Amino acid sequence: MSEFKFGFVALLGPPNSGKSTLMNHYLGQKVAIVSPKPQTTRNRISGILSDDESQIVFLDTPGIHRMRGKMNRFLLETAWDALSSSDIIVVLFDAAFFASKPHLMEQELAPLVKPVNGSGRPVYVAVNKIDKVKDKAMLLPVMEKAQAMWPDAEFFPISARKGDGADVLLDKIKAALPEGAPMFPDDQISTVPMRFMAAEVIREKLFMSLQQELPYSTAVEIEFWNEDPEKNLVNIGAIIYTTKSNHKGMIIGKGGQNLKKIGIKARTEIEEMLEQKVMLELWVKVREGWTEDVGFLRSIGLGE
């Protein structure tokens, strides 16, 4: 009989490399929001995967790339923080993108090379989105470059979306986990509080409802969360913040139609998540300059 294993696994990579998709795939349900837009994952979201022999806490992170501004600084800190509190590092990148643009690889992935190589932890590189690479020979230069960047790593061609190759990577992770007792009950799926997950669901529906011109300058704050155990109901109020009044109009939509749609979709998903009836009230408020306001960033869970 081997000992129980427990550990933290940091998922690091550029925006849109598929970190949240891979974590959700392993957990068999959506814990982190997934979207084709970068910067969907802002905070460090964890997902807990338990079985009879091990418990893994995945640390999903915002994408790592060169960015400016306070919010972006917080996003980067969140990612480095995950690296330093992890036992194992999984680096992801979009192989389909680099298969067609291999000359961009060194530059785009540069921020991930030194910190990862110097981490002293086992490094697994997930060469993701192989389902999108029709001509597999296109992967060879990509693999070669990646091997030169992370010489001590092991490489796993995967499709996080379809699940191809994901089991092989998971077995590897499990084998490399340190011995230790589980830190969480085996039915707990995330270390993130439910109210935060609810705010994330609202943010996802908001993203989905708006066109490409949507500013990334939106945030969701849960204003109240009132449980009514007798009716098995929770009454949730949330504020959507944006930086400009014309954005407010876009979010609300003609006759309030867009906001209503966001509300219905978010409520349905939060009900599934909580296994409880939900009443959801949404407001939209303009708050200029919030992406540079440290106090506000903290209040929505970004930064220290």
Which residues of this chain interact with Mg ion, rule CB under 5 A?
Answer: 19-20, 41
Measure the CA–CA gap between 83 and 59, rounded to whole angstroms: 9
Tokens for 198?
Answer: 């609810």
Q: Please report whether residue 34 would count as binding ligand GDP according to CB under 6 A.
A: yes
Cβ-closest position to K ion: 40
Measure the CA–CA gap between 284 and 236, rounded to whole angstroms: 15
Q: Is 41 annotated as a binding residue?
A: no
Question: Which among Mg ion, ligand GDP, K ion, none contacts residue 160 (Cβ within 5 to 8 A by kind)?
Answer: ligand GDP
Q: Please report whether residue 35 would count as binding ligand GDP according to CB under 6 A.
A: yes
Of the pair 11, 153, the CB lying nearest Mg ion is at 11
Q: Is 186 annotated as a binding residue?
A: no
What would you report as the CA-atom Rg of the chain, rounded to the nearest whole angstrom? 20
Among 63, 111, 165, 303, binds ligand GDP (CB under 6 A): 63
Q: Is 48 annotated as a binding residue?
A: no
Say which residues have a Cβ less than 8 Å from residue 146's Cβ, sequence separation at least 6: 93, 105, 109, 125, 127, 153, 155
Among 59, 75, 105, 160, binds ligand GDP (CB under 6 A): 160
Q: Smallest Cα–Cα separation from 45: which of 36, 55, 32, 34? A: 32
Among 5, 8, 12, 40, binds ligand GDP (CB under 6 A): 40
Kindly state the smallest distance separating residue 20's Cβ from Mg ion, in Å.
3
Q: In what order do the strands lie in the sheet with 154-157?
A: 45-50, 54-60, 5-12, 88-94, 123-128, 154-157
Backbone φ and ψ for 293, nearest 5 degrees, come out as -95, 105
Q: Please report whether residue 40 would count as binding K ion according to CB under 5 A.
A: yes
Cβ-closest position to Mg ion: 41
Within 10 angstroms of residue 103's Cβ, the number of other Cβ atoms is: 9
Q: How many residues bind K ion (CB under 5 A)?
A: 3
Q: Smallest Cα–Cα separation from 300: which of 191, 198, 214? A: 198
Q: Smallest Cα–Cα separation from 90: which of 30, 26, 34? A: 26
Question: Which among K ion, ligand GDP, Mg ion, none contacts residue 128 (Cβ within 5 to 8 A by kind)?
Answer: ligand GDP
Binding window for ligand GDP (CB under 6 A); candidates: 42-50, 97-105, 129-137, 255-263: 129-137
Cβ-closest position to ligand GDP: 18
Of the pair 39, 235, the CB lying nearest ligand GDP is at 39
DSSP helix, strand, coil percent of the chain (3-state; round to 5): 45, 25, 35
Within 10 angstroms of residue 82's Cβ, the number of other Cβ atoms is: 23
Kindly state the smallest distance separating residue 29's Cβ from ligand GDP, in Å.
14
- Provide the annotated binding site: 13-20, 60-64, 128-131
Interacting residue ranges for ligand GDP, rule: CB under 6 A: 13, 15-21, 34-36, 40-41, 63, 128-129, 131-132, 159-161
Interacting residue ranges for K ion, rule: CB under 5 A: 16, 35, 40
- Provide the annotated binding site for GTP: 13-20, 60-64, 128-131
